[in-house]
A and B are shown apart, each in its own frame.
Chain A
């Protein structure tokens, strides 16, 4: 297990290198630069700025300088938020994004799994059709539609919850963004859980468990649940990635000070270091999450051993 983990971490290095390289050069061939403003800067000042940020060096030199700093954990200074380093900005935004994203994943599991199990056990009944119909609707309506509608209904018309803002993560401010972020994942998880539960309930060892006289509840809890969870576990990686990208939009709609908005704004402002920082950070996060998901998968499935 340990050697497998180390091997996977080693494999993550080339992946991250590709991400960094693509993002670095894409950003640099973009027209415009970080110091283009309404007013053109006097040439001497611009030259000084460029020199201060090493932007006057050849591109390959900047690239290796960036990689070198990155290895030491230095993301560099932000060009637009002048008094902050990128690390500071990310560390400010991440707890906020984590809170929303983490709660969204937990909510998606807490609602999606039971719904899927119930739908599978009551297959082809009104319960099943209702759950699956709702789930399909949840998949069909994207989160950037759900979010404004939720804000309109609960924030503006009913006035029950704040329609936006962060307020240091007070509970009422959390509810709408978390729901908007998790609806689609609830739907996917419920559908997947139903499908895998139906498959497991039709297998031979479930028939054996029934034949030896276990009650239906025992059959479900002791024999069916664990194998049925496997496909859902492997979906968790994409689900987390989906929630991370979704948060870019959700943070913008609800005005939440997370990392997502730094990314889009940074890209539009040509804030090179800030964009690179968010891409590297999110890339590493997704790679790490995929590894954790695979480890959970192997813990759930005794047939899989990562010993080699």
Chain B
């Protein structure tokens, strides 16, 4: 027996949850590629329109309904009104991505607070609050959202709010489940014993500890929201001219696909690529944050 095996070794350095998750995520090539691509897509949508020679509603009188070409400056073609499709798709991306971020944020705030409060208070209040969520679940929400858009006109802020108000239910359930488990833990009891107020325990101790599943769920909500927005726009209930979004462009393209298929294909590819990346990233994050897969 050698003596050095008995010598005290350096205490293992603990990794924080965040750093550990990041390490695991950066080893996932598909997820990292998606992350880069999404970053590029966002940059392109928000900076790109400044770089193209055409504006959102500029009409090129020499190029109506032209297919993708390198000559003449319309790389991805023009629509029937002579508007540059690349420029319009990038502007549409601004709308689709901003709807995705804002609506997801709205659903995040409502869902996390609702779930945390419900789980923390527990008992009869919890029962009542979750019963309400159950009822909301069984509503045919899509129809109510469509009615909302018809009633209040096609307003982008309404789209933010309406979609956010629909998507918070899952978030609330997840956070409640986490909170129920967390509030039994010693550190919450310790905080109680130290006299920390209930509201502070929820915001400082419960929500930060439930953040892992919430992050995963957010990345899965963003593509759902983008889909919902383009679904509404496709039905003609989304944003209004001269603004555009991917759903509007796809709907216009679908009408013209027999004569000008690029009008359908270009926005469809942008939309599908974004959704694809978001799903990959969500899967990667779930693997990275889920302790069971270790």
Once the chains bind, are B234 and A26 in contact (CB under 8 Å)? no
Chain A residues with CB below 8 A from B276, complex form = 136-137, 140
Cβ-neighbour of B140 out of A12, A145, A241, A249 (below 8 A): A241
Closest to B250 in A: A145
- In the assembled complex, A139 has its CB within 8 A of some CB on chain B: yes
**Interface 9-mer from A45-53, A84-92, A117-125, A260-268:** A260-268
Task: Give the chain A neighbours of B140 by CB distance below 8 A.
Answer: 19, 241, 244-245, 279, 282-283, 286
In the complex, whether A29 has a CB less than 8 A from a CB of chain B is yes
Query: CB-CB < 8 A to A282: which residues of B?
Result: 140, 143
Report whether over half of chain B's contact residues are helix, strand or loop; otherwise say mixed. Answer: helix
Contact A18 B261 (CB under 8 A): no
Contacting residues of chain A (248-304) with chain B, CB-CB under 8 angstroms: 248-249, 252-253, 263-264, 267-268, 275, 278-279, 282-283, 286-287, 290
Q: A136-B276, A141-B268 are in contact. Are A152 and B257 (CB under 8 A)?
A: yes
Interface string of B245-285 (1 = CB under 8 A from A): 00100110110011001001000100111011001100000
Given the complex of chains A and B, what is the CA–CA distance between A23 and B227 in angstroms? 23
Answer whether residue B235 sits at the interface, using C-beta atoms and an 8 A cutoff. yes
Chain B residues, CB < 8 A from A253: 254
Known contacts A148-B254, A156-B258, A286-B138; A142 and B146 CB within 8 A of each other? no
Cβ contact of A290, chosen from B138, B142, B247, B258, cutoff 8 A:
B138
The reply to whether A268 and B150 form a contact with Cβ atoms under 8 Å apart is yes
A142 to B272, CA, bound (A): 8
How far, in angstroms, from A136 to B282 measured CA to CA in the complex? 12
- By a CB distance below 8 angstroms, the chain A residues around B279 are 136, 139-140
A263–B227 Cα distance when bound, in Å, is: 20
Q: Chain B residues with Cβ under 8 A from A267's Cβ?
A: 146-147, 150
CB distance from B39 to the nearest CB of A (A): 18
CB closest chain-B residue, reference A268: B150
Q: Is the CB of A14 within 8 A of B135?
A: yes
* A–B complex contacts, Cβ < 8 Å, 8 sampled: A15-B139, A26-B148, A30-B151, A136-B280, A148-B254, A151-B257, A252-B235, A267-B150
A175 at the interface (CB under 8 A from B): no
Contact among A12, A27, A156, A249 with B231 in the assembled complex (CB-CB below 8 Å): A249
Residue from A19, A30, A144, A268 having most chain B Cβ neighbours under 10 A? A144
Q: Is A22 in the interface zone, CB < 8 Å from B? A: yes
Decide if B143 touches A15 in the complex (CB within 8 Å): no
**Interface residue count on the A side (C-beta < 8 Å):** 44
Shortest Cβ distance from A302 into chain B, in angstroms? 24
Tell me if B230 is interfacial: C-beta within 8 Å of chain A.
Answer: yes
Q: Do residues A142 and B254 form an inter-chain contact, with CB atoms below 8 A? A: no
Question: Is the C-beta of B93 less than 8 angstroms from some C-beta in chain A?
Answer: no
Do A26 and B147 have beta carbons less than 8 Å apart? yes
A283-B137 Cα distance, complex, nearest whole Å:
11
Distance in angstroms between the alpha carbons of A91 and B135 in the assembled complex: 27
Residues of A within 8 A of B147 (CB): 23, 26-27, 267, 275, 279
A29 to B150, CA, bound (A): 10
CA distance A248 to B236 in the complex (A): 13
Are B143 and A279 touching (Cβ within 8 A)? yes
Q: Is the CB of A245 within 8 A of B135?
A: no
Beta-carbon contact of A144 and B250 below 8 Å: yes
Give A123-173 interface residues, CB cut-off 8 Å to B. 136-137, 139-142, 144-145, 147-149, 151-152, 156
B148 proximity list for chain A (CB < 8 A):
26
Q: Are A23 and B143 in contact (CB under 8 A)?
A: yes
Minimum distance in angstroms from B271 CB to a CB of chain A: 7
Q: Does B144 belong to the interface (CB within 8 Å)? A: yes
Whether A245 and B234, one on each chain, are in contact in the complex, defined by CB atoms closer than 8 angstroms, is no
Q: Is A148 a contact of B257 with CB atoms below 8 Å?
A: yes
Cβ distance B223 to chain A, nearest Cβ, rounded Å: 7
Closest chain A residue to B150 by CB distance? A267
